[in-house]
Amino acid sequence: MSEIIKVGMADLKVCTYPDSLTTLGLGSCVGIALYDSVTKVTGLAHIMLPDSTKITKNENIAKFADTGIAETLRLMLLQGANRKRIVAKIAGGADMFGGANVSKSTFRVGASNIEAAKENLKKLVASSNADGIEAKIGKENDFEILQDCSLVTINYSLGNKKAGKIGVIGPKRMNYSKVFASLDLISNEIDKILNEYISDE
């Protein structure tokens, strides 16, 4: 018998067919639905804010786009979903203060949530993106010793050619947005140093 599972605000759930997930009252919040059509594993996160690193009290990982999407994906992978098959849909992100005499730059919560959701989906759900960032969570890792960890890697280049790869090994619940940003910065510095060295020869 199937069950309709309710996902509350600042909450996330994962299920498999024939069960389904539902959430209500998004407003400026964003609902992120993930689905693997082969294993029929579904995930739904109802996030309230874009970035856990900007808030002191951030223990609820389902509340934020960066940690909520990562955790939903992690739980789906544990139930057999394949990252390369996952399709993502987002809804919500309304401008709740559009008619008020307030600064839109201050109250762009909905738009910021949408932007953060798209950025984190691009980095986490796609196997790799244009920047060469790749995240393997848990059993996605080829080596058994890494299957209780996450491995995040990024390419660095020499001219227009890929020269190598650097990475971070950490817990499956690591702060992915901060890791991505740090690796991107280090990769750019390596690119710069290598290309300056070659040009000086």
Q: From CA 186, how far away is CA 34, in angstroms rounded?
A: 31
Digit-coded pLDDT (tens) for 117-169: 999 998 887 644 445 678 888 888 888 999 899 898 988 888 778 888 999 99
> Do 67 and 158 lie in a common domain?
no
Last residue of a domain, one of 99, 127, 155: 127
pLDDT score of 131: 53
pLDDT score of 139: 83
> Do 114 and 15 lie in a common domain?
yes
> Do 60 and 118 lie in a common domain?
yes
Last residue of a domain, one of 96, 127, 158: 127
Last residue of a domain, one of 81, 103, 127: 127
User: pTM value?
Assistant: 0.68
pLDDT score of 128: 44
> Do 24 and 81 lie in a common domain?
yes
Q: Residue 198 corresponds to which tokens in the numbers above?
A: 């070659």
Domains held by the chain: number? 2
CATH code: domain of residue 200: 3.30.450.40
> Do 120 and 188 lie in a common domain?
no
Digit-coded pLDDT (tens) for 28-48: 999 999 999 888 999 999 999
> Do 66 and 93 lie in a common domain?
yes
Q: From CA 58, how far away is CA 43, in angstroms rounded?
A: 21
> Do 7 and 77 lie in a common domain?
yes
pLDDT score of 42: 97
CATH code: domain of residue 110: 3.30.1330.200
Share of the chain above pLDDT 70, in %: 89
Digit-coded pLDDT (tens) for 71-110: 999 899 888 888 878 999 999 999 866 655 555 555 689 9
> Do 112 and 186 lie in a common domain?
no
> Do 108 and 173 lie in a common domain?
no
> Do 111 and 140 lie in a common domain?
no
Q: Which range of residues forms the domain containing residue 103?
A: 1-127
Torsion of CA 45, 55, 132, 108, to 10 degrees: 70
> Do 145 and 87 lie in a common domain?
no
Torsion of CA 105, 63, 45, 181, to 10 degrees: 70
> Do 71 and 97 lie in a common domain?
yes
